[in-house]
């Protein structure tokens, strides 16, 4: 099913939709990375796109005429993950003693700082080429197999978007595998202990600082990998792809899908990439059909419906579309007890 999907989409909806599928896979990787930070460790990160940006620019700088470097894809990707991880540590080290929403605003600020620097590091020394971004990035290739060219394998023509689909699918599956192994490992359980009660976790002998830092670094390196793939796939990066809006979208994927649950996060990623695109393609024609003319700018109509959908889904399923089983159990606990627990948590936080 997953293997045939690009060809089915190609036949039924057109080549553009295969490209959207590719992006959906990239965003699933990002959402899974953020899920480690927000879903497992319970640290609200509103600047996650910074790590995506670091990965993308690492790839762009190491494989484009910008610095004249052309390293191969399979070397850059780990480097990108490593550098993104370093940035994760850079963000995490000074901020980990912050609680809850203070952390949220600091991460948000960090994301903006990275974007502003990418936007302005063209003077006095031109590193990132400023707002124009970096173009002519080398396409993804393994040995002599270029993912950007069409190949004929076993009588079937694979176009660029198809090949990227399989590459991204393989890596997404890898990320899913790593995430699920992490979840119930010693580290994963430590993350969840910290999420539920940091003081109790520390009392149980968990080194909360290092474990939280690890969540940041791991989440960041997933973001870095997705960023590298993004740069190679697009052939072009510019700061405007890494705005606060993207961080918010990725967070929405995690929370809307079901925080801490891999299936939920994947579902959230697919929905939030496909839904806006479907609305984009649907808003204009639907108006034509209903009213006979385009009365309202389809772009704003699309975002309007998207906002309504976000509110409606959260009101309908506050724990996300597909919540993790622990979280569901918490919610289904006897009302009075749940209320009391919440109050205690509230008191402890303030």
Give contact residues for other proteins (rule: CB under 8 A). Answer: 38, 44, 94-95, 97-99, 101-102, 104-106, 108-110, 112-113, 116-117, 119-120, 123-124, 244, 248, 251-252, 255-256, 259, 296-297, 300-301, 303-304, 306-311, 314-315, 318-319, 327, 331, 338-339, 342-343, 346-347, 349-350
Nearest distance, CB of residue 342 and other proteins, angstroms: 6
Q: How far apart are the first and last CA of the chain?
A: 50
Give CA 49 to chain center in angstroms: 7
Residue found under tokens 């948590």:
345
Nearest distance, CB of residue 77 and other proteins, angstroms: 29
Nearest distance, CB of residue 82 and other proteins, angstroms: 23
Q: Which is nearer to other proteins, 72 or 330 (CB)?
A: 330
Cα distances from 56 to residues 69, 72, 117, in angstroms, run 15, 15, 14
Q: Which is nearer to other proteins, 1 or 293 (CB)?
A: 293
Give CA 165 to chain center in angstroms: 17
Nearest distance, CB of residue 311 and other proteins, angstroms: 4
Q: How far apart are CA 299 and CA 15, in angstroms?
A: 21
Q: Which is nearer to other proteins, 150 or 342 (CB)?
A: 342
Q: How far apart are CA 149 and CA 90, in angstroms?
A: 38
Q: Which is nearer to other proteins, 67 or 116 (CB)?
A: 116
Read off φ and ψ for residue 153, nearest 5 degrees. Answer: -120, 125
Q: Which is nearer to other proteins, 126 or 300 (CB)?
A: 300
Q: Which is nearer to other proteins, 181 or 317 (CB)?
A: 317
Q: How far apart are CA 261 and CA 280, in angstroms?
A: 29
Nearest distance, CB of residue 258 and other proteins, angstroms: 10
Nearest distance, CB of residue 321 and other proteins, angstroms: 12
Cβ–Cβ under 8 Å, residues 3 and 173: no
Q: Which is nearer to other proteins, 213 or 256 (CB)?
A: 256
Contacts of 259 (CB under 8 A, 6+ apart): 35, 38, 39, 265, 319, 320, 323, 324, 327
CA nearest neighbour of 231 among 164, 285, 326: 164
DSSP code for 334: -
Nearest distance, CB of residue 116 and other proteins, angstroms: 4
């Amino acid at each position: 099913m997953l293997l045939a999907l690009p060809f089915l989409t190609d036949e039924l909806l057109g080549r553009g939709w295969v490209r959207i599928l590719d992006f959906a896979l990239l965003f699933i990787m990002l959402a899974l990375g953020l899920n480690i930070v927000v879903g497992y460790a319970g640290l609200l990160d509103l600047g996650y796109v910074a790590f995506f940006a670091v990965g993308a620019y690492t790839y762009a700088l190491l494989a484009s005429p910008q610095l004249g470097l052309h390293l191969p894809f399979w070397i850059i990707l780990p480097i990108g993950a490593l550098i993104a991880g370093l940035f994760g540590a850079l963000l995490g080290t000074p901020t980990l003693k912050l609680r809850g929403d203070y952390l949220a605003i600091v991460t948000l600020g960090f994301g903006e700082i990275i974007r502003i620097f990418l936007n302005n590091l063209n003077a006095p020394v031109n590193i990132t080429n400023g707002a124009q971004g970096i173009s002519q990035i080398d396409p993804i290739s393994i040995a002599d197999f270029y993912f950007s060219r069409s190949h004929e394998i076993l009588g079937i023509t694979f176009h660029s978007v198809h090949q990227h689909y399989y590459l991204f699918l393989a890596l997404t599956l890898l990320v899913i595998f790593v995430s699920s192994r992490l979840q119930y490992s010693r580290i994963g359980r430590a993350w969840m202990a910290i999420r539920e009660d940091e003081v109790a976790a520390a009392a149980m002998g968990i080194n909360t600082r290092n474990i939280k830092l690890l969540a940041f670094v791991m989440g960041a390196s997933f973001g870095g990998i997705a960023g590298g793939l993004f740069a190679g796939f697009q052939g072009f990066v510019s700061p405007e792809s890494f705005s606060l809006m993207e961080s918010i979208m990725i967070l929405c994927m995690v929370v809307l899908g079901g925080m801490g649950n891999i299936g939920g996060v994947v579902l959230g990623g697919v929905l939030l990439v496909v839904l806006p695109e479907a609305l984009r393609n649907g808003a204009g024609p639907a108006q034509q059909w209903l009213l006979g003319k385009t009365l309202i700018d389809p772009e704003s109509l699309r975002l309007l419906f998207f906002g309504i959908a976000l509110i409606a889904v959260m009101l309908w399923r506050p724990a996300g579309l597909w919540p993790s089983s622990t979280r569901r159990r918490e919610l289904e606990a006897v009302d009075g007890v749940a209320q009391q627990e919440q109050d205690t948590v509230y008191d402890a936080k303030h």
